[in-house]
Amino acid sequence: MLGIEKISLDMKESMKNQDKFTLNVLRMLKSALQLESISLKKELEEKEIITVIKRNVKQRKDSITEYQKYNKTEEVENLQKEIEVLKRYLPKELTEKEIDEKIEEVFQKEKPESIKDMGKIMKILTDEIATIADMSLVSQKVKNRF
C-alpha cells in the first residue's frame, strides 16, 4: 500500500529530523486512515486514502474559518501548516479551467434540462474527478450553470 507506506517512512524521517510538528500531523493522519480501514473492514485503496486525507484537509479549513472569526492567528497558522503537510499526500488537483472543461464535457454528454438533474451531473463528476478536484468548487460551478 503505497500511500500508507509513504506516510510511515515520512514519520520515521520526521523522528530522525526531530520535526515534531510534521510527526504529529502524520500520526493523526495515520490514525484516521487506520480508523477508516477498521470501519470499512478492509485495507484502504488509493482512492479511499485520498478521500480520508481530503476530509482531514477540509476539517482543518473549516476550523480555520472558525478561528479567524475570533482572531486566533496562531491556531490559524498551525492549521495552515498542517494542511501543507497533508497536501503532500494528495495528487495534483485540477485547475479551475480543467474543472470547467470537465463540467462542460459532462453537460454536453448528459444535456441536463433543469436543476433537478444536478444530482445526476454531480454523481458523474464525483465518480470521475473527486480525488483530483475540490468538489465544493465543482458543485458551485455546476449550480451556476443552471
> The CATH number of the domain where 70 resides is what?
1.10.1510.10
In terms of residue numbers, what domain contains 101?
Answer: 96-145
Tens digit of each residue's pLDDT, the chain (146 residues): 567 899 999 999 999 999 999 999 999 999 999 999 999 999 999 889 999 999 999 999 999 999 999 999 999 999 999 999 999 999 998 999 999 999 999 999 999 998 999 999 999 999 999 889 888 899 999 999 88
Count of C-beta atoms within a 10 Å radius of residue 28? 14
Element (H, E) at 92: none
How many distinct structural domains can be found in the chain?
2
Residues 46 and 73 in one domain: yes
Tell me the whole-structure pTM to 2 decimals. 0.79
Residues 10 and 74 in one domain: yes
Among 66, 87, 108, where does a domain finish? Answer: 87
Residues 33 and 14 in one domain: yes
Residues 83 and 115 in one domain: no
Residues 101 and 75 in one domain: no
